[in-house]
Structure formats: structure tokens, C-alpha cells
Amino acid sequence: MSNNRASQIQKEYYTSKADLYNRMYVEGDMDSGHQFALNFLSSIIRLNNIKSVLDVGAGTGRGIAFLQEHHPELTVFGAESIDVLREQAYKAGISQDLLVEGDANQLNYSNDEFDLVCEFGVLHHVPKPDLVVK
């Protein structure tokens, strides 16, 4: 299967699940992998005096919202390639200035623009995860 076809299938899936995404994958289980990862990230931020974060593949903005709540002094931005997931974030109160359209393979930020860049659940969706990490 071509990378373009795989990307299209992924977009179609998330488009069909956007309204249910948080209920399906995030809500209801405070001990979930999502919550664990966000709490772990929060600890890293505190321990390393992080001032700015980019969340790649920010989805519905749950990570941005969590970081804004737990670290109000932090500058947080997100990039998400799926339109309908960004729309869910905007409906939940995430600013369009903070969550922008962005592909993990082609981010429009300089290498030193953020103290920390993170992703949760993105690498298994991309054909060359090592390039995304770089």
C-alpha cells in the first residue's frame, strides 16, 4: 500500500471518529496510557524548567489543555494534520493560534524554537518514524 493511500485511510478513520475520539481513547480512565504520559511529561517539564512545548499530532488538544491547566506559565503549541480533530479542539476551547495544521514530517518551526517537542501516538502512523523524531 502506498504512503498516500495509507495516509488517506488514516484521515478517513479519524474523520469518522472525531466526535467520539476522546470518549473512545481518553476519557473515563485516569490511569490510562494517555493520562500516564501527560503526568510523566508534566514531571519532565518541572524537573527541567521547560518554558515552551510543541505537541506534534495534538489531536483534539487534550495534551495542550492538560499542560495549560497544570503549567499556566508554559507556552504550548500543537500541530495536527487531521482537520476534524483540530475542530474538536477548537470546540473545546483550544485557540486556533495554539493548535495549527501541521504534518509531523514537515513542521514549520525552527529546530531551536521549543524547549521540548513531544508526540503521543503518532509514530506508528508514519512510514518513517525516525525522520519524524529527527
- Residue ranges of the domains in the chain? 3-133
- Name the residue among 45, 42, 43, 38 with its Cα closest to residue 61: 38
| Three-state DSSP state, 116 | strand
Please write the tens of the pLDDT for every residue from 70-109.
999 999 999 999 899 999 999 999 999 999 999 888 888 9
User: What band does 131 get if pLDDT is binned at 50, 70 and 90?
Assistant: confident
DSSP annotation of 82 = -
Edge-to-edge order in the sheet of strand 52-56: 99-101, 75-80, 52-56, 116-119
Q: What is the pLDDT of residue 120?
A: 85
Q: In residues, how long is the chain?
A: 134
pTM: 0.79
65 — pLDDT class (breaks 50, 70, 90): very high
- Work out the mean pLDDT of the chain and round it to a whole number: 85
pLDDT at 6: 67
pLDDT tens for 2-61 read 667 766 766 776 666 656 665 655 555 544 777 888 999 999 999 999 999 999 999 999
Long-range contacts of 94-98 (CB under 8 A, 24+ apart): 94/61, 94/64, 94/65, 98/64
Cell numbers of 91, please? 470546540
Name the CATH superfamily, with its identifier, for domain 3-133: Vaccinia Virus protein VP39 (3.40.50.150)
